[in-house]
Each structure stands twice: as C-alpha cells, then as structure tokens.
Amino acid sequence: MPKRSDFEWLEDRPDWIKNAYKLKLEVEYRRTHGTSFQLLFDRIMRSVHGDDYSATATYGNEGDLGCDGFLKSRSLLFAVYSPSPYFKLAEARNKMRTDFARFEECWEIPKQAKQWTFVVNYPGVHPSLLAIARELEERHSGLDVTVWSRYDLTQQFLIFARIDLVLPEFGSVERKARELAPVNFVPEDTTLPSEEAALTYRRLSARITCQKEEYDQLTNEWIGQLCEDPLPWMLVHCQFLVGAMAAVGMVGSFAIEDPPLRRLKFETAIADFAWRKYFKTAWGVPASLIFHEDYRKEYPPIGNDVDMLFGVCLVQDALTVATIRMHSRITGLWENEILEEVWSHVTDIKIHPE
C-alpha cells in the first residue's frame, strides 16, 4: 500500500493555491445541477480516491440500480441529488427515501454495501436529513447511512486530494491567483438585489470587526436607501436572516423553530414595543422559508402595511447580528467566520421572481 509520503497533497500546498481551488469548486457548485453536478462530484471523488472510485451510468430499463458512484475499498454507494432550478428541503427528504428504497432493492446489505451516502448540492446538511439517515440506518445491521453537502465535499477535497489526481480534473492554478483578494458576489441566477446585499455584507462586517467609522457611514447609506425604497431591503434582510438561521441549523447550536427568546432579545437590544410588534413576523417569515410546512407558528403578515415593512426590516437586521453572536458564543467560532458562512447561504439560496 502506498504511503502518504509517496504523493504530493493539496493540503500541503500554500493557502493561496488551496483558496483558488476552493473558489473553482464554489463556482462549479453554483452553475451545476442534475447530471452536471453528478459529473462534478465524480471529478472531486477521482481527485481524492483515484481508481478506488467508480462513476456509474444508467443502462436500459435497469437504470443506475440506486448507485450514482461507488467507492470500492469501503463498499460505499453514493446517491447524488442536485435539483433544478433550486433546492427544496421537502423534495430532498422525499428523494432521499426514494433513492434508499431503490438501493435496498438492488444491493445485498452488508455483503455488497456497507455504507450509503446521500449527497446534496447545498451548503450544509439540514437536521431533518440527518434524522432520516439515522432512521434508515436502523433498518440494517452493519450499514452506515450518511449525508454529505457541498461543505463536506470541499473539506475532503482540500484535505485528501492528491496533486497528481487534481491536475487532470481541475487543472493548475496560475500564479496571479496569489494576488487576488477574496471576492463576495451575488450570482446572476437570483433576483436578490445585488447592491443592497453587498452593502449589507460590508455593514455587518464593519460592525463585527468594530470598524466604527465605516459602520456609521454604511448605516447612514442603509437608512437613506431603506426610507427611499424599502421593498428590495425586505428581500435582503430576510435573506441574510435565512443565511444566519441556516448557519445555526447546520450545527444545531439552538433550535430555529423555537429559539431562546430572552437571550435573543437581549442580543438585539430592541425596544420592548418593537419586539412585541415585529418579532413574530421578522423571525417567522425566514423560518417558514426554511421549514416550509414544518414551521407551525403563526405570525402577522406584512401586507401593504408600510410601518410593518419598515419595522420588520429593522428587526431582521438586528436579529441577523444577534443570531451570529449567539452562534459564536455557543460554538466558539469567530463572528467574522460565521458571517462568511452566512454570506455563502445568502448567495447560494436562490430567490426567483415567482
């Protein structure tokens, strides 16, 4: 068996090289779905596992036999899910159960398969998918059931990919990439207002890093634009709070559907009257976007109430910062690192005109 010292590993390369490959993956994640994402998944697996990984294809009426990829040394079968045009949690849960049923039908467990992994083209793994994995795992002795997200794919690539396997799949990195600063952008395939989103990111970053002068300047810009046209800001503030909730939900630092209200209110520093009037809507709208029919708490609609619209925007802005801070204190993660994760969710979760 070859030793680790026999190869060059991406993990040992300079940070600017690893960051360039990470950016390549992030771009590919955003522009692939369906078969194209499965092909990207195959390239990542070959970069990490080489010949130990086998891509699969459908054949006639038999289809793919419930297997989108196979890792021979671990008897590990993959089912890959990347819907078009965008990810819906309820559909992902149904697809996971359907794919597993096909896997059970076609493979002898654990003789032929010791692990089944559901791969989703999404920034992280929702707890409900992990719960399904545990439920499915209990059906078969000797079988592990896991769920991988983009985060898991990227981490495995950055830590375990071999340079000789990476180059034919993703090419080399030009030296000029060393000079590139990190870029935060809003993709074109979403109706999220890009200028408002960029200003919000810069403003939150200034607050988290205690850049008071910049924060005050950006806050003045924000208030002026909010008063002029609140509708695009409603989308942006809701999306940022969705991103903060998603960051919390992927780790489970607290329950989004039933948050610790006293602690959350303390972190927001919102006046009592504003909390009573706007919190249920400010929190309920993004929570219902995440949990869909599973979020059962009622909240007042915004409707055509301009006062309600302004109030919800202001409270959602405060709740985003409060959620990041609570998540940081519970997990020990840096607030600026959490903001980067929030931004990835903001840009990954698409907003469509309908």
Residues 28 and 171 in one domain: yes
CA distance 104 to 94: 16
Q: Can you give the pTM of this predicted structure?
A: 0.55
Q: Quote the number of domains for the chain.
A: 2
Task: Residue 161: give the domain boundaries.
Answer: 4-179
The model's pLDDT over 319-332, given as tens digits with 9 standing for 90+, comes to 999 999 999 999 88
Residues 105 and 211 in one domain: no
Q: What is the DSSP pairing of strand 76-81 with strand 115-120?
A: parallel
Residues 29 and 104 in one domain: yes
Sheet of strand 53-55: strand arrangement: 53-55, 69-71, 76-81, 115-120, 144-148
Residue 185 included in any domain: no
Answer whether residue 60 shows pLDDT above 70: no
Residues 222 and 306 in one domain: yes
Residue 186 included in any domain: no
Residue 326 included in any domain: yes
Residues 45 and 122 in one domain: yes
Query: Tokens for 176?
Result: 């000029």
Residue 172 included in any domain: yes
How close are the terminal C-alpha atoms of the chain, in Å?
Answer: 55
Residues 158 and 200 in one domain: no
Among candidates 151, 198, 208, which has minimal Cα distance to 324?
208
Q: Which of 69-73, 211-215, 300-304 has the lowest mean pLDDT?
A: 300-304
Residues 21 and 47 in one domain: yes
Residues 259 and 174 in one domain: no
Q: Identify the domain boundary among 153, 179, 205.
A: 179
Residue 189 included in any domain: no
Answer whether residue 251 shows pLDDT above 60: yes
The model's pLDDT over 152-197, given as tens digits with 9 standing for 90+, comes to 999 999 999 999 999 999 988 766 556 554 444 444 444 577 788 8
Q: Identify the domain boundary among 179, 202, 230.
A: 179
The pLDDT assigned to 168 comes to 94
Domain of 41: which CATH number? 3.40.91
Residues 215 and 153 in one domain: no
